[in-house]
Chains A and B, each alone.
Chain A
Amino acid sequence: MNVRMLGVALGVSFFVVPAFAGDTVKIGYIDPLSGGGASIGEIGLKTFQYLADELNAAGGLNGKKIEIVPLDNKTNPQESLVQAQKAADDGVRIITQGNGSSVAAALTDWVSKYNDRNPGKEILYLNYAAVDPVLTNAKCSFWHFRWDANSDIKMSALTTFMKGQPDIKKVYLINQDYSFGQSVRTTARAMLKEKRPDIEIVGDEVHPLLKVTDFSPYIAKIKASGADSVITGNWGQDIALLLKAAADAGLQANWYTYYANGAGGPTAIKQTGLSHRVFAIAEGVPNSATEAAQKWEAEFRAKEGVTLFYPRAVNEMRMLKMAADEAKSTDAIPIAQKLEGMKIEAFDGGDAFMRKDDHQFFQPMYIMSFGVMDPGAKFDEEGTGWGWKLIGAVKANDTILPTTCKMERP
């Protein structure tokens, strides 16, 4: 049968001798490089490649050169597992991923099982952007480390900031109807109640994910409720259209968001003309970062042509190098043992540390608003001429939340 002829053809490409690592350490970057999520996936890849170059110039990981291996997962969890297997066959022992908590959940599960079934070939999973809290709580794993503040931590920082803002009296919650959006609204309610019980939550809305083309009915409801602030976890077109509708309807409210600073967000905000009404919570504000960080970002932008969306990737790679150099090894277990509990100065300044209990990184969080730039501010976003301005800061220690993680250690 013809399957056999095919088999012969396939055979040529299949005699894969597992790549001899030699003096390179491969880091697998598993994120979308085609399809809908590709624009963000490509930015992440550039960031990591830039970081790899920088660290290689400083001696690499324990003397070995870092090589970033891009693996396109098309934002599909099952595809991600196939790519992870390919990475493992290719000698990759460290993988990093961030786009999509669904993928992250699949990967962390797979890594645990792989390490269980292949002792001596353990793989580490470094998560730079998947924010589902479950990954450092119920589904925590020794092999998984997360550098992004999870969505609960972000809400905690945001509500701590709101504690000191007496103007905020009526808050409206609007979120996408899926696990992340639901988690944002439940933590918002719980934390606001705890920190500012006087704030009235005048509305709590969820809408279908990426399906709504016109948010004017929602805006009408927000207006009718008299809210002065809106908290939303919306991203992608959901935040763009939401802000558009708000601008169209002339809604005078402040927007506290998670992802207004994501790719495409600044363009959407500029289009609406809402200067310094849209806030985002992030681990770094380009225009207010330390001297060293600003210089680094300027060089990064000059070379790569995009904003540094992931200061946490800088933290991740620098800590990886420190761990490898200290452990004098590039194997998973020694590196992991050095990583957990590690304290550093975060890229944008301030003390930060990787908590041993659940492998969650705690760092200073900043609330920033987007609008007309202050004189002397260096960085604008996406060619709009507007930039981010620091409004409030929360120290790492003030963002700490308890964890239910019961980690099994090797």
Chain B
Amino acid sequence: MLQLIAFSALNGVLYGMLLFMLASGLTLVFSMMGVLNFAHVSFYMLGAYFGFEIERRVGFWLGFFVAPLAVGAIGAAVERFGLRRLHRLGHVSELLFTFGLAFVIEEIVQMIWGKLPVDYRVPPSLDFVAFRLFDTTYPAYRMFMLMTAVAMFAALFVALKRTRVGLVIQAALTHADMVAMLGHDVPRIFTLVFGAGAALAGLAGAIAGPALVTQPSMAALLGPILFVVIVVGGLGSLAGAFVASLVIGLIQTFAVAMNGSLAELFGPVAPPFMGDLWQVTIAELAPIIPYLLLVIVLIVRPTGLMGTRES
């Protein structure tokens, strides 16, 4: 029991950090431009595939550095040549553009790498056991993922709050016109932020690829959860995204580990209209819980837990 709790907690935090790696880029882009980027998870997928290609030819560590940069470049190009011309048409057009882009990226990935999962492996340097807890082992690679995510959060925080560029970006978040009048190239800042967001997603993909299965549907599987995280945490709040990622990561992992059901609590005979619901265990409900949370949070607090803007 204790073992279960310990492992679920550890895995929950890890899953939460993975979600945060993705959510951070998305929140940043949203705060900046009011655009919720549907293609963000596609950048995550591209990061995983680029990491795979580079690992196949050279090695994991090169992929670790190069894949995010490549994805960031692609993201910047998308913003510069695609999204920028849509600013004047409004947020709906930008949203729909990224929606279409997500489809296109998935199709191109399928065309180039095939539809089956690819063999993106944990590098031998990280392929050992980190520790044993109650006679189950925990792989070192996951600890590495955890550390990378924490490092990323720290770096992001420092970059935004303590550097000059970060200050300008923060200002452009709320007072874009003023910042432009002060002489900064706001469109270029937007491109930079979008590219940085994409790079973060690419990094998440490059390190999550070996742990999860690298396949064309990996984006679609993670997409909805990511949106739940963003909205529950609060549109526009990085700290909120962090908290929401952890909460949802932990809930998902714990729920999956628990077997209780109403039937177990109250006996096998269901009241007439409950039928299936009576037999359902918490583990079976696990995929729905984030969406329930989303709906509840949005009813109670439409700006999310720590949100600063609605839309």
Contacts and interface: CB of A to CB of B under 8 A. Distances in A.
A82 interface: no
B286 A39 contact: no
A273 B7 CA distance: 23
A377 interface: no
A38 B107 CA distance: 12
Contact of B4 (A177, A210, A220, A240): A220
A256 to B, nearest CB: 22
Contacts of B213: 237, 240-241, 244, 268
Contact of B116 (A213, A219, A249, A264): A264
B4 A237 contact: no
A210 B286 CA distance: 12
A211 interface: yes
A220 B221 contact: no
A207 B117 contact: no
Given A214-B11, A217-B256, A241-B213, A271 B287 contact: no
A263 interface: yes
Contacts of B53: none
A329 interface: no
Given A214-B253, A221-B257, A248-B139, A208 B286 contact: yes
B219 to A, nearest CB: 12
Contact of B221 (A213, A224, A240): A213
A244 B115 CA distance: 20
A79 to B, nearest CB: 17
Interface residues of B, number: 36
B31 interface: no
Contacts of B14: 214
B114 interface: yes
A214 B284 contact: no
B264 interface: no
B119 A267 contact: yes
B212 interface: yes
Given A224-B4, A248-B139, A217 B117 contact: no
A163 interface: no
Interface in B247-282: 253, 256-257, 259, 281
A219 B137 CA distance: 11
Contacts of A268: 117, 213
Candidate in A206, A219, A271 with the most chain B CB atoms within 10 angstroms? A271
A62 interface: no
B226 to A, nearest CB: 13
Given A217-B257, A224-B4, A271-B121, A39 B116 contact: yes
Nearest to B6: A220
A19 to B, nearest CB: 31
B136 A223 contact: yes
A36 interface: yes
B15 interface: yes
A286 B61 CA distance: 39
Given A213-B15, A220-B136, A271-B119, A241 B283 contact: no
Interface in B138-167: 139
A200 interface: no
A53 B4 CA distance: 56
A267 B114 CA distance: 14
Given A210-B221, A211-B221, A216-B11, A224 B3 contact: yes
A212 interface: yes
A244 B11 CA distance: 15
B121 A36 contact: no
Given A177-B284, A207-B283, A241 B8 contact: no
17 contacts: A39-B116, A205-B283, A208-B286, A211-B286, A214-B211, A216-B136, A217-B257, A219-B136, A220-B7, A220-B136, A221-B257, A223-B136, A237-B215, A240-B117, A248-B137, A264-B117, A267-B117
Given A212-B256, A237-B215, A267-B117, 17 more contacts: A38-B115, A39-B115, A177-B284, A208-B286, A211-B287, A213-B222, A214-B11, A214-B211, A217-B8, A217-B257, A220-B7, A220-B136, A223-B135, A224-B3, A237-B117, A240-B213, A267-B119
